[in-house]
Structure 1
Amino acid sequence: MCFDILHKFSGEIVAFVARPLGDVSEDPGECRGVAVQQCAQLGQNLIDADLRGVSCRHADLRGQCFIGCILDDADFRGASLQGADFSGASLMRARFDDASLSGARFLNANLTRATFNRADLLTTSLIGATLSDADFCDAHLTAARFDGADCARANFYQADLSHSSWGGTRCINARFQGAIWAGVKLKSPPVQLDGFGCNVVLLGDEMFVDGQVMPIRDALNISTQEALSVGSLSWLRFLTRFRQIYPLLPADLIDTPSV
């Protein structure tokens, strides 16, 4: 008896695995998981495969290629995925909690509502990825790259973002309470922050609010009267929501606010 892994477009067989005698499991996710692990042992890549719902908990899939695969609702909790390549893959609602993902690649992947709680993502590349509503609570993201990613409503509660790169990243209503920002790199194109009633852009140690530039230190310590004297209500609107933007800023760029 065997289980087939099909190409997501053509429906052709990408790989198949014979079930061991006595295996009565009919769970498609578990069957796909067995097939994926056997492919990894044989050094066989899984490009553009339909692997939705695959269950690979605690599996050793280091360096495995999943480019362009459908992995929606996949379970990789506790898996070893160092150096794995998920570029262009669909990973909606996938679970990577407690997984080892150092050096993994998620270029332009769809990780909407994926979870990475306590996962190790050292030097992981998330360039251009869709991370809407993703959960990185307590994740280790040192030197990870978020350039061009969409992090709308993502949760980075107490995540270690040290030395990570944020160029042109979209952070609408993302949550960064307790996150570690030491050595964060803000590169051109700038980081665009939305949801403040005005256009807020971070670039280096300067902040642009509706095109008006001010050093970040000054922007965080400006009084209401000073904001009005700038001649724009945009600064005043920004000040009213200042505590929401504060956790987004690297600690080495700012002083403790006095307001």
Structure 2
Amino acid sequence: MRIRLAVVAVALALSGPAAAQSLMSGIDLTSPAMTEADMTRAEVEARLAAQPGAAVFDQARLNGLDLSGLDFSGASLRGARLNGTDLSGARLDGAVLDQAWALKARLDGASLKGASLFQTQMQDASLRNADLTGARAPANFSRADLTGARFTNADLGADLKNQSMGLMRADLTSAKAEGADFTGANLLRAVLEFADLKGARFDRANLTTASLAGANLTGASVAGAVFTDTDVASARLVDLVGLDETRLDAASNLSRAITR
């Protein structure tokens, strides 16, 4: 089982969001690897205390545990299983969660400043008011609750200089992100299709070639945002704050967007 899941994790790393989504159908989400824990909260706390700022939980099964309020700053959780885990109020500043599984995990109010979420699977997770300032997060946030989350100066975009592992970018398809803050964020080629982005802040954000198809940006702040070739087909672009019409004119399918 461990070998099979490791192969799947590598496959996800070699693919973009769409391929990662399709691979979900080939994974047994009811298996022990995806639903059970091989550590207790007490054991997690002991490791954190023994290795402050450098604890290692790579590939650990932490599914369903209550780890709320713990300090994982600087910890490594590469490929860890965190499905259904409660990390609300936890500190994960500078933590590495690359290729971790956090389906339906709860990270409300958690701090992930400068964290690395490279192809982290966070579908249906809750990150209400979480702080991902400066994080590197080309992760799968589809259907996640990102209400009030902070992605200030975060990097959710594709790295066009290094595609040896395929095109990887953030996927926020159908995410709830009302009032989220993407000020200064890199969203190059990110997928935000059908996302609820009402009142969100995109000031100075880079949305070049991102997809906002079907997204709701009513009342969003977009001062200085870059919309070069951004797909806005069927997107609701009503009452935008700080809008520079000349920048929005660079978007794709603007004639098909809802603007009033």
Q: TM-score range by the shorter chain?
A: 0.5 to 0.7
Instruction: Confirm or deny: 8 A CA contact 1:160 1:179 kept in the other structure.
Output: yes
1:8-19 equivalence runs, <5 A: 15-16=42-43
Does residue 105 (structure 1) correspond to residue 129 (structure 2)? The answer is: no
Instruction: Please give the per-residue CA displacement for 1:48-101, whole angstroms capped at 9, x wherever unaligned.
Output: 111111111011111111000111001000111111111101110011111111
Identical positions, percent: 29
Bigger Rg, which one: 1
Does residue 127 (structure 1) correspond to residue 147 (structure 2)? The answer is: yes
Q: 1:74 to 1:83 in 2, by over 3 A?
A: same
Does residue 192 (structure 1) correspond to residue 221 (structure 2)? The answer is: yes
User: Residues of 2 paired with 1:206 and 1:107: CA distance?
Assistant: 24
User: Residues of 1 paired with 2:196 and 2:114: CA distance?
Assistant: 24
Instruction: Confirm or deny: 8 A CA contact 2:238 2:258 kept in the other structure.
Output: no
Q: 1:245 to 1:144 in 2, by over 3 A?
A: farther
Q: Aligned to 2:199, which of 140, 157, 168? A: 168
User: Residues of 2 paired with 1:251 and 1:155: CA distance?
Assistant: 25
Q: 1:206 to 1:152 in 2, by over 3 A?
A: closer
Report the counterpart of residue 183 of structure 2 in structure 1: 152
User: Residues of 2 paired with 1:165 and 1:246: CA distance?
Assistant: 22
**Structure with greater strand share of residues:** 1
Instruction: Confirm or deny: 8 A CA contact 2:221 2:240 kept in the other structure.
Output: no
Instruction: Confirm or deny: 8 A CA contact 1:183 1:252 kept in the other structure.
Output: no
Report the counterpart of residue 55 of structure 2 in structure 1: 31
Listed as ranges, the gaps of 5+ residues in structure 2 are 1-40, 158-168, 226-234
Q: 1:185 to 1:53 in 2, by over 3 A?
A: same
Count of residues paired in the alignment: 197
Question: 2:103 is aligned with what amino acid?
Answer: Q
Q: Aligned to 1:252, which of 249, 253, 256? A: 256
Does residue 54 (structure 1) correspond to residue 75 (structure 2)? The answer is: yes
TM-score normalised by L of structure 2: 0.66
Instruction: Please give the per-residue CA displacement for 1:192-229, whole angstroms capped at 9, x wherever unaligned.
Output: 22248xxxxxx94545678xxxxxxxxxxxxxxxxxxx
Structure 1 residue matching 2:42: 3-state secondary structure: strand
Instruction: Please give the per-residue CA displacement for 1:107-161, whole angstroms capped at 9, x wherever unaligned.
Output: 00110011122x2211011110111011111222110122111110111111111
Question: 2:110 is aligned with what amino acid?
Answer: A
Q: 1:206 to 1:244 in 2, by over 3 A?
A: closer
TM-score normalised by L of structure 1: 0.66
